[in-house]
Structure 1
Amino acid sequence: MLKTKAGKLAELLRGKSRSSFGRNVNAVRKRILQSLKSDTKILLRSQLFDATWYLRRYPDVAAARLDPLTHYVRHGAREGRNPNPLFDGDWYLDSYPDVAAAGINPLVHYAQYGDLEGRDPHPSFSTRYYLEQNPDVATSGLNALAHFLLAGTGAGRRAFHPNAHYSKHVLKESQQLAIELPDIIQHIETMLFRPMFRVFIDGRDDAARAGTLASVKRQVYGGWSIGDLDWSRERTALEADDAGYIICLRVGDVLNERALYEFANAVNADPMADIVYGDEDFLENGVTRARPFYKPDWSPDTLESLNYLESTACVSAAIAAVAWSDARGSYDFMLRATEAASRVVHVRSIVCHRRRSADDPASMEDNAADIRALTGRLMRTGRTGSVTPAIEGYACYDVTVKSSTPLVSVIIPTAGQVAEINGRRVDLITNCIDSIERVSSYKNLEFVIVDNGDLGGDRCAALRARGCKFITFTEKKFNVSKKLNLGASIASGEMLLLLNDDIEPHAADWIERLLEHFEKPHVGVVGAKLLYPDMTLQHVGVATNQGNPEHLRRMHPADDRGYFFSSCTARDFSAVTGACMMARADVYRRVGGYTEALAISYNDVDFCFKIREAGLTAVFAPRAQLIHFESQSRSPVLDLAESEYFHARWAHMLTSDPYYNEESLEVLPGSFEVKHNPRWL
């Protein structure tokens, strides 16, 4: 059938339209590719993209062997992924809607324009503040954030005004007190028990004493009296009925207006409380509240690293009477009091504004007094050891204890992999055992290798010849919990040391520094300090934030002090990583070992929770240091069914971490930094 002229014309137009559309698509594609190339060049010049950090933060990119910068430019920015630890793309777009409206890659915008315009890349980095404090940055050729990441962190420069976020908390607190004061007064009048507080002031600075005295007189709770204190003199014994509770303040310390009310409220809520303590901050220049110390709940192992209670605690007169006359300082008094106490309660409220912050340099006299106090603690608890400052000139301490030398069974599950590490081919299981035997000073060890039956005859024979025990995991489906329990079933040691095969010791005495904590009967599990090969932190304790386990201060420098020495002193945490953890064999078996329903995910945290449920503590030991190649032996994955099991099993323990205040401190990542936007603001 012949086509009409109209039909032919329509066909031609359709063909022309398809051809034009194709040309348009090609043109758009070309512009997109040019834009992506341009963005890549801009980010390369800016030095704002941290490829190593990106691959660690997003292991799926590493597992796919994708170029990290290309992935970020093409996909990552749109997916809300971040290019370095101090650039938050979603936050940047929310803060600057004009950038979002323009559809620009947020990091490219910051690199080209945002820095010059004084925009901030992250709630914890202030561009204007950094440039004002560091005028030399302008001559470096780098923008503010790039300079901080490449040079500023190592030089100890600040990313933002240290009090910028906390000032919001202080403002809100004062507003809340004004609103709640009538209810507080009414509550005090109806309290079933109205304890008396005897406040002792230590020090002879009359001007500073006046400020401390005035703060006691401003208390909204009226049941108090005041006395003087001199730790260097003999004190008359306290009678149990002299006062309900006593408080020892250093001269210049200022009680928050609601401090005694908070203590009285806590005692009414928990009449068995022997000691109640709260949080604190620092009076900068004697006036401005700064550097808050949001403390953990009762942490006996933390107390042996620093006196985190001090002026923020009230002690029942009955307990104080036991410690009072023999104590020769605040630390000594608190150590003795906690030894006699049955119940120690933490109030999550700032109750004291300190003249000297707990992380300030300490005098030689204070160091000497603290060391005497801790040495006395060792003697009273039947331990032999020594005490030295963990950081010279600061009031934080490393307590080294001579422990027994039990047989330690090192249980290593392995897939028998050979991995590439720093350009060299490494047989992981052989390297792990070689490095332990070569580096470690502790020798009473047995190695228990849990393989999959595929190590090969030569490797097995070589390891057996060195005394290694073997047990084979025969199931097809991977289950690290079953592998660890298999290893424990043939272990002869009094102590079990669970260890990944992608690990090398970094300190000769690492095993001794794990063992020494078991001289304390309340300790259930101890974890090590793990470093990446580039000497940044991989593990210094695990918190549960927003219901999920999280490694704290990950990728900070190896010498990071942490939050009030959290990275460099022994401390209690909710959990420690299973990549290197030690437990008593009898305790391991008593709690059922690792939960085999958790084949892949959460099993180490679950084990720590079972330990804590049994009334024991999980301790981080910073002097036990190892290098961890992390997931060289297996790609990290999350099993959703296991996540459901874990959250259902431990819902009662996931609502609030007792050792990390997620209401006031940042989460995801858990950095111990003051939250820039707390939920109650």
Structure 2
Amino acid sequence: MKKELRSNDINVTLVDSKINGINNPLYWVELSTNLSAEHFVVMGDGVELDKVVRTQIVDSHLMLSAKLGNAKVIELFVVVDDERRNLEKLNNRISKRVSYRLKECILKVLQPIGDFIYNSGSFIMFLLRNRDMVLHPSKWKKLFKTIKQRRKERNRFVLNPYVQKDYLHYIHVTETPDVIEKFGYNPLISVLIPVYNINRDWLSACLNSILDQSYQNFEICLSDDCSTKEETLATLKEYGEKDERIKVYYRKENGHISKATNDALKIASGEFVALMDNDDLLPKDTLYEVVKVLNENRELDFIYTDEDKLDTEGKRCHPHYKTDYAPDSLFSSNYISHFGVLRKSIMEEIGGFTVGLEGAQDYDLYLRFIEKTTPDKIYHIPKILYHWRMVEGSTSMTIDNKGYAVDAGKQAIENALGRRGIKATVFKDEMVPYYKINYAYDVEPKVGIFIPTKDYAKITRDCLQSVFDKTTYKNFEVILINNQSEKKETFVLFEEFKSKYNNFHVFDADIPFNYSKINNMAVHAFDCDVVVLLNNDTEVITPDWLQIMVGYAIQKHIGAVGAKLYYPDDTVQHAGVLLGLGVATHAFVNAPRDDVGTNGRLRVPYNYSAVTAACLAVEKSKYLEVGCLEEELTVAYNDVDFNLKLLEKGYYNVCVPQVQLYHYESKSRGLDTSSTKYKRFVWEQEYMYKKWESYIADDPYYNPNFSRSYCFMLDERAYIKKSQEGVGK
């Protein structure tokens, strides 16, 4: 059972703990916290035990261990401002350790059975919940054969990127050296490295990883920030004399990372500059891959890559597989991070790094740099081309080891919004070290909430009542689209809400069901600034849902805005749409309500190629600009098609998970099991493949390393196939 400690300064959840080992017991504990490791103390029989930081896993999770020896009573404390609070107390009994070991053995035996139940059960639930994917009974035999085959393949091919063993296997299989080409364009790249009191081994490894690059037209610009360590200074002198491409600038006073990197920029003479920390490593082909891209497009100003980390034993772990350029994701976190290569002339134009935002200096730089270029000149290479060393007390272990970095990041976003003339409030998320924005406006735009229905008065009543009772936004109208309802209680409901609310209207769409057409008819018939498409089987949870969604929808660069939707059991039904898993699938389906998601995707806004129309906001002018919903798609994929039309016009679609609703999923229409409906679904699926083949094959907001069978997992088969076709965006 989870234990929590929360106050203004403390946010700690004890996620899991155990005592492992029979002869040499070891205490393991996993914590979700905003505190660093030094705030936790493990006691054995009243004596403080030595603890080890095993790893800092994704999204502020800290894992510690301690050898227990003969200690009988084990206690875990959190210490803040000399105040000690007890988190856990355990008895270290041999009977308990033996019991745990037996449990592990039993689970190991039962795991294959569990996998089968999980895979089969999840797939069946998927079929039941996703109306557009239910096959005609005549196809079930083939379907179950496919399930059986995929279950066999899963353990072999689908890997969890956040399990180190899986990740190491994946990179062993997929990372093969490129055939080195000769380029017609060979720009000089200046690698900027601020240096301060780093030990020789790490600095030497860093510099050697650059000197060993397969692309050799580079220079290394080192700026020593007044180091006092003799081994640091000696290493700088040695390498400065070793290779004429290595320049060393010695600062006369310590000024911290921004000033030091700015001095490195001053001695750089390359057309492009690359940013690197003094203890990190570059794979052999990093600069080659960058220049390869530049030879394909010399107009690029900003190139960034995927990255991973090196644990305390030097093993690779925690990969960060990124999306293509995503401006709203970038306002939520510095997802770009390493490795960044930027045009030097723009770096000089913006004045380099901002002094005073140390801890988020790269974040601030990227936000300012992007303002001087355009999205078509920003390029993402979906390959791990940077290794970030995990050092105790470093942000590579956890950003919370430098709590000031979160505050500096918030300031960087506020500064960017101010420069761009956008009124908004920036909030730090409570569970992950990322950010949320509430956009402000002087006058509430008029919102039309369009809700199609055919009978099912009870669920429609629940939906309507939640909108009117919970919505704090004032300037809205509800347009209930009546699509050939027949039951008396439905018309009683219409009259009841007409009499209660002046901003409630019924629009009669007396045609056979066509989701696209009935919504288009209603949108054309009513005046509003922002269109909200809402299913009649939803219920509002977040009172300020419209304030938030409208704030995003009226931004010039944003197309469709989606929300986080839950099933009635409080598991996730929608948090963005991913392309290429079939035509499309919802991200994080069945995730627990308190799950933060991959890199915080269930906590803060992220750009996606599409969001579901079960709850979607878009400016009416943009709705009309792309030709409304496609009326040839009567049931399935009309929302995905609409989103992709917005992408084609240059807009960005975004899911804002701070807006939450329940979704009971298409109750008033039922499941697609009839032969006619199945044929229609197949036709609509083929329509999407023909029209949007490039997006389905290569979703810009879903990294090509990820599986096309399981969301945010790794699939070596898919990657190998993709690499044969060529990747990179």
Q: Give the alignment's TM-score, normalised by structure 1.
A: 0.74
Distance of aligned partners of 1:341 and 1:504 in 2 relative to their CA distance in 1, 3 Å threshold: same
Of the candidates 261, 276, 279, which is equivalent to residue 306 of structure 2?
279
2:173 is matched with: 172
Q: Do 1:359 and 1:565's aligned partners in 2 also have CA atoms closer than 8 Å?
A: no
Distance 1:61 1:384 in 2: 39
Q: Do 2:131 and 2:670's aligned partners in 1 also have CA atoms closer than 8 Å?
A: no
Of the candidates 400, 403, 419, which is equivalent to residue 441 of structure 2?
403
Distance 1:60 1:561 in 2: 23
Of the candidates 269, 282, 297, which is equivalent to residue 270 of structure 1?
297
Of the candidates 364, 375, 390, which is equivalent to residue 332 of structure 1?
364
Report SS of the residue matched to 1:648: helix
Within the alignment, does 1:364 sit opposite 2:398 as a pair?
A: no
1:142 is matched with: none
Distance 2:520 2:588 in 1: 30
Distance of aligned partners of 1:61 and 1:544 in 2 relative to their CA distance in 1, 3 Å threshold: closer
Matches within 5 A, 1:255-404: 255-285=282-312, 287-325=314-352, 327-328=354-355, 329-342=361-374, 343-356=377-390, 360-362=398-400, 363-392=402-431, 394-404=432-442
Distance 1:310 1:161 in 2: 18
Mean CA deviation greater in 46-55 or 291-300: 46-55
Distance of aligned partners of 1:628 and 1:304 in 2 relative to their CA distance in 1, 3 Å threshold: same
Distance 1:244 1:485 in 2: 51
Distance 1:617 1:171 in 2: 35
Of the candidates 205, 213, 223, which is equivalent to residue 211 of structure 1?
205
Mean CA deviation greater in 203-212 or 280-289: 203-212
Within the alignment, does 1:224 sit opposite 2:218 as a pair?
A: yes
Distance 1:93 1:296 in 2: 30
Distance of aligned partners of 1:54 and 1:464 in 2 relative to their CA distance in 1, 3 Å threshold: same
Q: Do 1:524 and 1:617's aligned partners in 2 also have CA atoms closer than 8 Å?
A: yes
Cα shift readout 1:42-84 (whole Å, capped 9, x = no counterpart):
99x9898579856532229999x9xxxxx9xxx98995289xx
Q: Which amino acid in the other structure matches residue 149 of structure 2?
A: D
Distance 1:591 1:483 in 2: 17
User: What is the deviation of 1:568?
Assistant: 1.7
Q: Which amino acid in the other structure matches residue 322 of structure 1?
A: E
Of the candidates 415, 423, 427, which is equivalent to residue 454 of structure 2?
415
Aligned residue pairs, count: 546
Of the candidates 477, 484, 505, which is equivalent to residue 446 of structure 1?
477
User: What is the deviation of 1:275?
Assistant: 0.3
User: What is the deviation of 1:309?
Assistant: 1.5
Mean CA deviation greater in 546-555 or 53-62: 53-62
Report SS of the residue matched to 2:216: coil
Distance 2:219 2:657 in 1: 42
Q: Do 2:170 and 2:714's aligned partners in 1 also have CA atoms closer than 8 Å?
A: no
Distance of aligned partners of 1:286 and 1:308 in 2 relative to their CA distance in 1, 3 Å threshold: farther
Distance 2:663 2:308 in 1: 36
1:520 is matched with: 555
Q: Do 2:198 and 2:279's aligned partners in 1 also have CA atoms closer than 8 Å?
A: no
Distance 1:501 1:61 in 2: 16
Distance 1:367 1:562 in 2: 19
Distance 2:714 2:465 in 1: 43
Matches within 5 A, 1:89-108: 89-92=148-151
Report SS of the residue matched to 2:599: coil
Distance of aligned partners of 1:62 and 1:433 in 2 relative to their CA distance in 1, 3 Å threshold: closer
1:615 is matched with: 650
User: What is the deviation of 1:124?
Assistant: 6.1
Q: Do 1:215 and 1:255's aligned partners in 2 also have CA atoms closer than 8 Å?
A: yes
2:508 is matched with: 472
Distance of aligned partners of 1:289 and 1:562 in 2 relative to their CA distance in 1, 3 Å threshold: same
Distance 1:588 1:597 in 2: 17
Distance of aligned partners of 1:172 and 1:54 in 2 relative to their CA distance in 1, 3 Å threshold: closer
Q: Which amino acid in the other structure matches residue 447 of structure 1?
A: V
2:101 is matched with: none
Distance 2:131 2:282 in 1: 52
Q: Do 2:482 and 2:507's aligned partners in 1 also have CA atoms closer than 8 Å?
A: yes
User: What is the deviation of 1:252?
Assistant: 2.1
1:197 is matched with: 189
Q: Which amino acid in the other structure matches residue 588 of structure 1?
A: Y
2:279 is matched with: 252
Q: Do 1:552 and 1:669's aligned partners in 2 also have CA atoms closer than 8 Å?
A: no
Distance of aligned partners of 1:92 and 1:630 in 2 relative to their CA distance in 1, 3 Å threshold: closer
Q: Which amino acid in the other structure matches residue 247 of structure 1?
A: A
Q: More strand per residue: 1 or 2?
A: 2
User: What is the deviation of 1:558?
Assistant: 1.5
User: What is the deviation of 1:173?
Assistant: 4.9
Q: Do 1:297 and 1:345's aligned partners in 2 also have CA atoms closer than 8 Å?
A: yes
Report SS of the residue matched to 1:553: coil
Cα shift readout 1:152-198 (whole Å, capped 9, x = no counterpart):
xxxxxxx9980233223322355x21xx4xx41xx23xx22111111
User: What is the deviation of 1:385?
Assistant: 2.9
Matches within 5 A, 1:568-579: 568-579=603-614
Report SS of the residue matched to 1:577: coil
Distance 1:519 1:203 in 2: 44
Distance of aligned partners of 1:302 and 1:450 in 2 relative to their CA distance in 1, 3 Å threshold: same
Distance of aligned partners of 1:244 and 1:286 in 2 relative to their CA distance in 1, 3 Å threshold: farther
User: What is the deviation of 1:372?
Assistant: 1.5
Of the candidates 435, 451, 455, which is equivalent to residue 466 of structure 2?
435
Distance of aligned partners of 1:54 and 1:653 in 2 relative to their CA distance in 1, 3 Å threshold: closer
Report SS of the residue matched to 2:295: helix
Within the alignment, does 1:233 sit opposite 2:259 as a pair?
A: yes
Cα shift readout 1:225-279 (whole Å, capped 9, x = no counterpart):
1223544438469689932111111232211211111111111111111101111
Query: What residue ranges of structure 2 are gaps of 5+ in the alignment?
Result: 1-109, 224-255, 356-360, 673-677, 722-729
Query: What residue ranges of structure 1 are gaps of 5+ in the alignment?
Result: 1-41, 66-70, 83-87, 96-119, 126-158, 419-426
Distance 1:355 1:407 in 2: 51
Distance of aligned partners of 1:344 and 1:232 in 2 relative to their CA distance in 1, 3 Å threshold: closer
Distance 1:600 1:472 in 2: 19
Distance of aligned partners of 1:201 and 1:93 in 2 relative to their CA distance in 1, 3 Å threshold: closer
Report SS of the residue matched to 1:198: strand
Cα shift readout 1:12-68 (whole Å, capped 9, x = no counterpart):
xxxxxxxxxxxxxxxxxxxxxxxxxxxxxx99x9898579856532229999x9xxx
Q: Give the alignment's TM-score, normalised by structure 2.
A: 0.69
2:492 is matched with: 458
Matches within 5 A, 1:571-610: 571-610=606-645
Report percent identity of matched pairs.
25
Q: Do 2:173 and 2:716's aligned partners in 1 also have CA atoms closer than 8 Å?
A: no
User: What is the deviation of 1:376?
Assistant: 0.7
Q: Do 1:413 and 1:484's aligned partners in 2 also have CA atoms closer than 8 Å?
A: yes
Q: Do 2:367 and 2:416's aligned partners in 1 also have CA atoms closer than 8 Å?
A: yes
User: What is the deviation of 1:572?
Assistant: 0.9
Report SS of the residue matched to 2:598: coil
Distance 2:591 2:607 in 1: 20
Report SS of the residue matched to 2:381: strand
Between structure 1 and structure 2, the one with the greater Rg is: 1
Distance 1:306 1:358 in 2: 15
Q: Which amino acid in the other structure matches residue 318 of structure 1?
A: S
Report SS of the residue matched to 2:193: strand
Q: Do 2:445 and 2:529's aligned partners in 1 also have CA atoms closer than 8 Å?
A: yes
Q: Which amino acid in the other structure matches residue 707 of structure 2?
A: E
User: What is the deviation of 1:387?
Assistant: 2.6
Distance 1:548 1:395 in 2: 33
Q: Do 1:200 and 1:228's aligned partners in 2 also have CA atoms closer than 8 Å?
A: yes
